[in-house]
A and B are shown apart, each in its own frame.
Chain A
């Protein structure tokens, strides 16, 4: 089994193992080696290399940070709209 993380041109990314079939069209892909986290949410591509954006956090902490970022972004939109009124 060879798991890879795929970065698509719509900005999304995911980790999958296409054992017997074609791989998806991706702008970049990297093998997820043994010992690496399999949480796609924590990775990005910088200068052509795979980077763990949360080296000090476990997977659950990364997900919680994403949830908190979603809540903060929603509040910012509300605040910006109120300013515009």
Chain B
């Protein structure tokens, strides 16, 4: 997808402005921490400059006239339970080998922003509570989204149980209403009763692929659709109606590790411009986080395609979809939808993190960057950064009096001779403003839910729409 400058008379005028200062600087990231004095969130701009802190249940009334985040600091109006944080562990500790949710878990940020709730660029926030999934619904939904570089970045696409759905990024969960004018659609024959996110769309190729059937032992049937156009037909139902199922073919992945729900029904795909397809598979119980790849066949191969094993990042005892609907692999997209991070835990449910990065425009085989965080206390977090890259949040012990304990580092962005994603391990950024608990704390960092509606500016306060296709927000 080519970069399309925003239009002053187009979608940009309908986007909400940022909230801080005379320049109406918008937020791009939010730090979240659960402390003894309530849940705290602090918003940062696109370069991690602090904007406005907001402390639920906290004793100070500073900033109440400057931000609409939390006007009331009495528990009468909002408490941790109101936002749904009662099930989360206090941020003065870490997840380690447990399944309790913490701000410092690797899965705190994903394709759909923060697992803790909905946070927006204008400083507003709300709970993601669902009666069936408590406050964990965004964490659960994070497994459903698939790579797609469609133009309207207000839409996020997911697939679960064979149903493709389009949601607004501001309300991204499958349980929310469809994006205006779109309809969910079931793909006939897709037998994945518990399958999540096993699909990929490429806007250059106008092709959509999805796993149709699990044959067992690393063998899968893949549906190849052609003339699938999410720009012409943003509605999944319309896109399917105007596409053609070219054929279904079978792949066999070599060196298949553990066979379970995580590997068979929660692995992720990406379809590159050159037709190479990657499958990223989290094999639990020390079998590693693997990448397999193959070329999209132009014609029905008529026989099983034996894929190539590109790389394996080793893990420890680690858990996925089998343990709960909240656990397992998930992805993070760059703002432009062209580059992706596929990530899985290193240790048990949420500690450490294994990451493979690749982009739709790349041509080398396999992932261009593979990294491991082997921490057994907490898990490194991946954030989108600028328009086409990423940066990591090290969710260590960070607070105002210990400001180097948690930090941003290791950017992953396009560069070098081959213009592919590169890891910049010695890049560091420290923060000027922290949560209100000035003692041991492991805060999480996430992108705001509407991160990809706005393009990266000149370092201050660009409120322009990412591209002219964005007309809602």
User: What is the interface of chain A, defined by CB distance below 8 A to chain B?
Assistant: 1, 3, 8-10, 12-22, 24, 38-41, 59-60, 63-64, 66-67, 70, 73-75, 77-78, 81
- Contact check, B312 vs A16: say whether CB atoms are below 8 A apart: yes
- Interface residue B1 (Cβ < 8 Å from any Cβ of A): no
| A63 CB contact (under 8 Å) in B312, B316, B440 | B316
Q: Other than the known A17-B311, A20-B365, A67-B96, what 11 A-B pairs have Cβ atoms closer than 8 Å?
A: A8-B425, A12-B372, A14-B314, A16-B312, A18-B310, A22-B364, A40-B372, A40-B374, A41-B374, A41-B376, A75-B440
- Interface residue B402 (Cβ < 8 Å from any Cβ of A): yes
Which of B309, B364, B370 counts the most A-chain CB atoms under 10 A from its CB? B370
- Contact check, A66 vs B377: say whether CB atoms are below 8 A apart: yes
- Contact check, B376 vs A24: say whether CB atoms are below 8 A apart: no
- Interface residue B94 (Cβ < 8 Å from any Cβ of A): yes
- Interface residue B405 (Cβ < 8 Å from any Cβ of A): yes
- Interface residue B119 (Cβ < 8 Å from any Cβ of A): no
| B residues less than 8 Å from A18 (CB atoms) | 310-311, 370
- Contact check, B371 vs A14: say whether CB atoms are below 8 A apart: yes
- Interface residue B419 (Cβ < 8 Å from any Cβ of A): no
Cβ-closest 5 pairs across A and B:
A14-B372, A63-B376, A10-B425, A21-B366, A15-B314
Q: Measured between C-beta atoms, what is the minimum distance from A82 to chain B in Å? A: 10
| A residues less than 8 Å from B310 (CB atoms) | 18-21
- Contact check, A24 vs B370: say whether CB atoms are below 8 A apart: yes
- Interface residue B160 (Cβ < 8 Å from any Cβ of A): no
- Give Cα distance in the complex from A74 to B91, angstroms: 12
| B367 CB contact (under 8 Å) in A1, A21, A63 | A21
Q: Measured between C-beta atoms, what is the minimum distance from A26 to chain B in Å? A: 10
- Interface residue B423 (Cβ < 8 Å from any Cβ of A): yes
| A residues less than 8 Å from B288 (CB atoms) | 17
- Interface residue B454 (Cβ < 8 Å from any Cβ of A): no
- Interface residue B313 (Cβ < 8 Å from any Cβ of A): yes
- Give Cα distance in the complex from A8 to B426, angstroms: 10
| B residues less than 8 Å from A64 (CB atoms) | 376
- Contact check, B426 vs A9: say whether CB atoms are below 8 A apart: yes
- Interface residue B286 (Cβ < 8 Å from any Cβ of A): yes
- Contact check, A70 vs B377: say whether CB atoms are below 8 A apart: yes
Query: B389-411: contact bitstring with A at CB < 8 Å (1 yes, 0 no)?
Result: 00000000100011001000110
If A1-B255, A38-B314, A74-B440 touch, does A16 touch B405 (CB 8 Å cutoff)?
A: no
Summarize A's interface: helix, strand, loop or mixed.
Answer: mixed
What number of B residues sit within 8 Å (CB to CB) of A?
40
Q: Measured between C-beta atoms, what is the minimum distance from B379 to chain A in Å? A: 13
If A14-B313, A40-B314 touch, does A77 touch B402 (CB 8 Å cutoff)?
A: yes
| A residues less than 8 Å from B423 (CB atoms) | 24
If A24-B370, A81-B402 touch, does A67 touch B377 (CB 8 Å cutoff)?
A: yes
- Give Cα distance in the complex from A63 to B94, angstroms: 13
- Contact check, A19 vs B311: say whether CB atoms are below 8 A apart: yes
Which chain A residue shows the least CB distance to B366?
A21
- Give Cα distance in the complex from A24 to B366, angstroms: 13
Which chain A residue shows the least CB distance to B401?
A81
Which chain A residue shows the least CB distance to B373?
A12
Which of B364, B425, B426 counts the most A-chain CB atoms under 10 A from its CB? B425
- Contact check, A63 vs B97: say whether CB atoms are below 8 A apart: yes
Which of B372, B375, B439 counts the most A-chain CB atoms under 10 A from its CB? B372
- Contact check, A77 vs B397: say whether CB atoms are below 8 A apart: yes
| A residues less than 8 Å from B364 (CB atoms) | 21-22
| A residues less than 8 Å from B314 (CB atoms) | 3, 14-17, 38, 40
| A residues less than 8 Å from B426 (CB atoms) | 9-10
- Contact check, A16 vs B370: say whether CB atoms are below 8 A apart: yes
| A residues less than 8 Å from B286 (CB atoms) | 38
| B residues less than 8 Å from A20 (CB atoms) | 308-311, 365-366
Q: Measured between C-beta atoms, what is the minimum distance from A13 to chain B in Å? A: 7
- Contact check, A13 vs B374: say whether CB atoms are below 8 A apart: yes
- Contact check, B365 vs A67: say whether CB atoms are below 8 A apart: no
Which chain A residue shows the least CB distance to B440?
A74
Q: Can you sample 28 A-B contacts with CB below 8 Å?
A: A8-B425, A10-B409, A10-B410, A12-B373, A12-B425, A14-B313, A15-B372, A16-B311, A17-B312, A20-B310, A20-B366, A21-B364, A21-B365, A24-B370, A24-B423, A38-B314, A40-B314, A40-B372, A59-B316, A64-B376, A66-B375, A66-B377, A67-B94, A67-B377, A73-B397, A77-B402, A78-B439, A81-B402
| A residues less than 8 Å from B425 (CB atoms) | 8-10, 12
Which chain A residue shows the least CB distance to B371?
A14
- Interface residue B29 (Cβ < 8 Å from any Cβ of A): no
